[in-house]
Structure 1
Amino acid sequence: MNTFTMAFTLPEQLSHDAARSTFYWTPKAVGSFTSPVGPSLGQFGPVRPANADLVRLAVLVYAADRSVTRRANGSSWSQRRLQLHIPVTDPDAWQASQAHWEALLGFLSGDAWSLAFHPAQLPTEAATYRYAGAHRVVLLSGGADSAVGALLSQHELGERRQLLFSHIGATNLAPRQREVATRIAALTGSRGLAHHQIRFSRKTTQPNGHRFPDERSTRTRSLLFLALGLAMASIEQVELHIPENGFASLNLPLGADQRGSVSTRTTHPYFLHELSRLATVTGAHAPISNPLSAMTKGEMFTRVRDLVGAKAASEFLSMTHSCGHTGHRSLGYPVLSHCGVCFGCLLRRASFRASHLTDHTSYLDTKDDPRLAAYLRDKSVAASLRGFLGRGLRTADLITLTLPDHYPLADAKSLIERGMHELETLSR
């Protein structure tokens, strides 16, 4: 069992055992994290206490996820057992739904989680807030789906303001997020579109030099993104949008060897529904919506084309980033290049074709570079995708979906079939 907890002050002498099991989150960012905010989120503003609790839960989940490697017995996707001791303002409220939180985290990451909650002795932080009057918070990752969601949201709001909220993982993505936000403002005629970026990451080492293990899959990172967005939304008591095409959100496995959480399930309708329900039970502000949940990615692209015209839509969508890999930077290629062969890239390419838009995306070219060719062969899901499309949608596939009660199975089946039809354009 891998056991972790969180503390808010750094001891003068940090022992090796404490460095292995405790993550230190201090108001001055002297500890285990790179963060512009303290554990009470005072730099965000007057965040509801239970929402700050949710962020601390998400931070500890993310840090533990990063710090325990999956590789074991020849497999790089081993299930891990993780135990967390989480500081919250009302332990009884969280403890009452402990088993449900553990199950939800298991659904998200595929691991076995054990949670315990204890009273938080939080440091004092001044609250400052810069976004008064926001009618909605929209998560903006820099990917095509979040960009489409933010564009359609601002068009719907008209003169009313929204806040675009970005979590910076790869620092190279930060300028792209700003460029996308600027283009949304131009396309919608929105003046002073608010955009808040935050870089929050676990450091590679503890203050005493202890080096963390580094697990790169981090299936739970988007939970932190959601929790931070909800914290910001709690200030004005507004809804949080996390835009993602419904086909990808269902996380349908491409083959029998891909059962379980191979990619993120953070926008899966069951996960969003349960997260909102459980967070609300603890007293957090948690109205979450995926406005694109009933649409394929091609249908989303078509909506943008119909709204701003084909040329503008092509330019706007091509500037976004959808690739799931960054390893090609070790071969000397820009990290924001698209590999072209991961599921995100293949779905992107199919969506441009399905919406009859020109794709200006820069995909990696293996010409005259055998190292890159070998790298892309290893990363490609094209064969799995062809097999999935060749055999068609089966009842066994639908059984794996774990839909919430309010989501009709017939709607999911129709959505998947439309998404598969778009992917088939890649072979034409």
Structure 2
Amino acid sequence: MPCPKNLDRQMFDQKFSLDLARRDVMETRHPVDSIFSRANRQAVLSQRHRFFQSARASRLGSSGGRKSRSADRGKGATILGSLRVQTFSGASCARIVRMLAPRLFAVAAVLLAFVAQPIVAQDVSALFTQAQELMRRQQFAAAVPLLEKCVAAQPASSKFHQWLGRALGLQAAQNGITSSLMSIRKVKAELEKAIALDPKNLQARNDLAILYRALPGLFGGSNAKAAEQVAIIRKDDPALASQIDGDFLAGDKKYDAALAAYNESLRLNGANPMTHVRISLVHQQKKDWEKAFAALDRGLAIDANHPLLLYQVGRAAALSGLQLGRGEKCLRTYIAMPVREDLENPPIAAAHFRLGNILEKKSDPAGARAEYETSLQIDPKQKQAREALAKLKR
């Protein structure tokens, strides 16, 4: 679940707050392989045969005049619509329709049968996982079109609308939030759509509350509207609502009040490892390292492979200089892990940066340099990694 907006960037690397993402100029080509799975191969062959027959019948019946060519284009548009094209933009589809003149109709129909097929469930899942990995690498511009495909394939999925809203928000932050009012509207629209599809999607309500808190009033920000969402959440999940209370208090640097809210959340639901992450973050902010590590230990007792807990052990070690060996191991474990679909995973670039901090403290400048360089390869705008690398080279 996202965290409040005003705390240290590396402390809340996993959060969704719109004003804390950095620009990432890396581009990623969309892999077509995930669309054309083996499971769809037979369906494609059947589809190709069916539309080839339609194309052939249309071509044979054409007289070649302007009227017949117009009719053929109309038939082509109908076929194109029935195919539910997921891999072409609107402009690309229009160009293909213009190909559907009498002599080219059959060729174009066969081409469409190969490339224009519905995305099956396993392909949607693969696209979603890939989008989350791109978000973990802060390549939000590349993640957005994949999430749009997920939404197009399953428009009734509250989860896909929610994650599209998150990606759009973080992309807007990279481009400068105050210069992108249209993007902010899209973020809000996707989160509201997610809630409309599933009013019990409390994480989407949490995201919307964070959006209201993060935005200035001129852009639709409102603490009152954020409180309305938290009040709705409290009816279904009072423990989550108390945790969100703590997030907002921590964001306002009211640390003692935040700890009280987190402890209330634990009283209501002691099995949530994320609450222990938040308690640790507050203690890290106060530089109370013993309590910070103790909170992480309690969370790891619940979920030993929780990515946020592993990352935070590494971060706390990097900042405090304590438990360096353990911190290194936890960060390497997290970096090697696949994304967890149920969580916002900490940025990989930040994990490499913190690993570099630890190796530097362990008198391993070559290892630290390699980690800082890796961090910058993933996120060229990672200012802290660039400064640390420059300092090492002096």
Please indicate the TM-score interval, normalised by the length of the shorter structure. under 0.3
Could you say which structure has the larger radius of gyration? 2
Output the TM-score relative to the length of structure 2.
0.27
Quick check: which one's strand share is greater?
1
Output the TM-score relative to the length of structure 1.
0.25
Quick check: which one's helix share is greater?
2
